[in-house]
A and B are shown apart, each in its own frame.
Chain A
């Protein structure tokens, strides 16, 4: 009880050690609360700022869809043999938009919130995660017209839709891992952004969005389709088309030849998430210093 004496005895008596910033903080609930607050306020800013906010948000994928539909379906006659290819096309575009939105927003997110990062101690990962969350909100909104088109084209609710949350969960895990990785990489390497733009452009064409996967199987071969499906984004889109639009779209399981084949894109998803999370955690203490 010699409280006036300095030294290690007292150190052990009092409070917690301050060791520097962390990625997740101590309380997952608080982390989530922070990410949620950041995402919802950004979301509000975007949509309540202007009357046409939500309208424009919808118009982006819809306009792209209209153009792509006119060119590929109308002129080139792609996917004519596929059931409801228009809906499948829109679904692909909306999923890709989610992917591009969250990764694109996360890359610069730490720099954009530099002011906060350098002045307040809070769980750093909340920033890229809030970008993914915000993109998820938009994704949810963009899915509404997809389902409207689906029902308009004669789609029906059926039992396979239960897969939907699973597929979306995998997609979100994949995108979150990438966002963590990219945002942390950008702190040290500023050319990550242009590189990523090119990569995502390549992914857009390298993923069966504009064309049905059956076209790849017919023109190039089964193994090419299998390689494409190792990409979690492609696997998610294909599985969504299979489960939600029409079972005539072969599921990745069917193309790999067994359901176990699905483990490849799922494994890659997990790998990317783990790598992204670990790299982000490693970089966390340095973010404030290197921005």
Chain B
């Protein structure tokens, strides 16, 4: 029996759709209504959710991922009962507690005691339950000496502690959490992560809506990806996270193609024209062309160059910059042992640079160039294309620098004494 209860779904969402009517002309006054009683205002329909179905197992940590406007917050609000879904059904087993914002409804002019009481009443707790919870909240937040202090006099750290305690100390079986991680500094994020670990250990069911792939991959045991209100991926958070990055970056690249000729809207070309960079692409070790490169595996950059004149000893190079514009990888034929030699007019060549991808997950711009040793630029295209790197281990670094490590213990006595001296 216990196994069955733990694997039974705590949340079942089937075929949920939600459409918002966005009036083209806002009839916002009784006057307009009275003057034009039969004029139907034209509505623009915005479908925020389209037939979304999924299940969350009891005790699961479930991630809902998507870009801005993908409908993930609408989904959470439907789950929370704040919005009514147009069609489909949502079933939740047990008491639900929603956290769309940390410390929602806190009134700065009231003492912690009153704020916690209001919060408890909002969650539907009875007076007695609320009193019992109050002590637990204050204990957790370690604010025993400040229960009568108005919130406006709280330090920001105390406020966060109180808000978190209010969120954690709920006797809820299902927690819905939205973007709490989007705000706050690194220390706050760490605190959030610690709390998540605790919640996960407490075996409660959690649905987390977030942008933060690191958090999803770290905590969630399942995830779904929403795009334009539709469920586009579900299952292993690793895969969902990868398709999220893919979607995010390839889509922006597609948008750039749509907005400019040849996908070089934001790219800039320089050079005297004696060489033309005709194409660039990345290949995986398997030899297939890829726009997404997994971190840690071998990747090959290839550039196809056609010379329009005779050229001696050109240098081929490529630079990858991350989304902040920081160059993280620069490969060049100039660092090889031999010169490239001479090329005839109308000769087409391929230059390849392979590397064991150490890059962190991000979108990288690719800027290839062909120059002469003296510095003359034959062809240079800034941000000719982009490539996405995905990574499974959330190390948080820009690049993974390979290292070796060893621990020396049981040192010879003489050496230990020497070190201590």
| Chain B positions within 8 Å of A11 at CB level | 12, 14, 89, 91
With A120-B105, A288-B77 known, 16 other A-B pairs at CB within 8 A are A1-B4, A3-B8, A11-B91, A14-B10, A17-B89, A18-B79, A20-B82, A21-B84, A29-B126, A30-B121, A41-B114, A41-B118, A118-B100, A120-B122, A122-B123, A191-B29
Q: Which residues in chain B, 350-375, are within 8 Å of chain A measured between CB atoms?
A: none
| Chain A positions within 8 Å of B126 at CB level | 29-30, 33
Q: Does B78 contact A (CB under 8 A)?
A: yes
Q: Report the bound CA distance from A233 to B202 in whole Å.
A: 56
Q: Does A289 contact B (CB under 8 A)?
A: yes
Q: Does B394 contact A (CB under 8 A)?
A: no
Q: Verify B29–A122 contact, CB threshold 8 A.
A: no
Q: Verify B29–A20 contact, CB threshold 8 A.
A: no
Q: Report the bound CA distance from A1 to B1 in whole Å.
A: 9
- Nearest 10 pairs of A and B residues by beta carbon: A20-B84, A15-B93, A121-B81, A191-B29, A285-B84, A14-B93, A37-B121, A18-B90, A34-B121, A119-B100
Closest residue on chain A to residue B3 by CB atoms: A3
Q: Report the bound CA distance from A41 to B109 in whole Å.
A: 10
A residues contacting B by CB (< 8 A) are 1, 3-4, 6, 10-11, 13-21, 25, 27, 29-30, 33-34, 37-38, 41, 44-45, 49, 113, 115-122, 185, 188-192, 195, 285, 288-289
Closest residue on chain A to residue B178 by CB atoms: A119
Q: Verify B82–A191 contact, CB threshold 8 A.
A: no
Q: List 6 A-B contacts (CB under 8 A).
A: A3-B4, A18-B81, A113-B105, A120-B98, A120-B105, A289-B83
| Chain A positions within 8 Å of B101 at CB level | 119
Q: Report the bound CA distance from A154 to B354 in whole Å.
A: 104
Chain B min CB distance to A255 (Å)? 34
Q: Which residues in chain B, 241-284, are within 8 Å of chain A measured between CB atoms?
A: none
Closest residue on chain B to residue A18 by CB atoms: B90
A3-B7, A3-B8, A10-B8 are known contacts. Are A15 and B94 too (CB-CB below 8 A)?
A: yes
| Chain B positions within 8 Å of A44 at CB level | 110, 114
| Chain A positions within 8 Å of B80 at CB level | 18, 120-121
Mask: chain B, 300-316; 1 = CB below 8 Å from A; 0 = not: 00000000000000000
Q: Verify B9–A6 contact, CB threshold 8 A.
A: yes
Q: Verify A288–B28 contact, CB threshold 8 A.
A: no
Chain A min CB distance to B129 (Å)? 10
Q: Verify B33–A189 contact, CB threshold 8 A.
A: yes
A6-B9, A121-B82 are known contacts. Are A33 and B109 too (CB-CB below 8 A)?
A: no
Q: Verify B117–A122 contact, CB threshold 8 A.
A: no
Q: Verify B7–A4 contact, CB threshold 8 A.
A: yes
Q: Verify A20–B9 contact, CB threshold 8 A.
A: no
Q: Does B104 contact A (CB under 8 A)?
A: yes
| Chain B positions within 8 Å of A3 at CB level | 4-5, 7-8
Closest residue on chain B to residue A29 by CB atoms: B126
| Chain A positions within 8 Å of B110 at CB level | 41, 44-45
Q: Which of B30, B55, B78 contacts A18 (CB 8 A)?
A: B78
A4-B7, A116-B122, A121-B98 are known contacts. Are A16 and B107 too (CB-CB below 8 A)?
A: no
Q: Report the bound CA distance from A188 to B33 in whole Å.
A: 11
Q: Does B293 contact A (CB under 8 A)?
A: no
A119-B104, A190-B28 are known contacts. Are A15 and B91 too (CB-CB below 8 A)?
A: yes
Q: Report the bound CA distance from A115 to B89 in whole Å.
A: 26
A18-B91, A34-B121, A120-B82 are known contacts. Are A191 and B20 too (CB-CB below 8 A)?
A: no
Q: Verify B105–A20 contact, CB threshold 8 A.
A: no
Q: Report the bound CA distance from A49 to B100 in whole Å.
A: 30
Chain A min CB distance to B392 (Å)? 27
Q: Verify B8–A188 contact, CB threshold 8 A.
A: no
Q: Report the bound CA distance from A3 to B118 in whole Å.
A: 38
Q: Verify A191–B31 contact, CB threshold 8 A.
A: yes
Q: Report the bound CA distance from A27 to B28 in whole Å.
A: 34
Q: Verify B4–A38 contact, CB threshold 8 A.
A: no
| Chain A positions within 8 Å of B30 at CB level | 185, 189, 191-192, 195
| Chain B positions within 8 Å of A33 at CB level | 121, 126-127
Q: Verify B82–A118 contact, CB threshold 8 A.
A: yes
Q: Does B402 contact A (CB under 8 A)?
A: no
Q: Report the bound CA distance from A30 to B126 in whole Å.
A: 6
| Chain B positions within 8 Å of A189 at CB level | 28-30, 33
Q: Verify A14–B9 contact, CB threshold 8 A.
A: yes
Name which of A15, A16, A41 has the most chain B CB atoms within 10 A of its CB: A15
| Chain A positions within 8 Å of B105 at CB level | 113, 115-116, 119-120
Q: Report the bound CA distance from A44 to B114 in whole Å.
A: 10
Q: Report the bound CA distance from A15 to B85 in whole Å.
A: 18
Q: Verify A14–B122 contact, CB threshold 8 A.
A: no
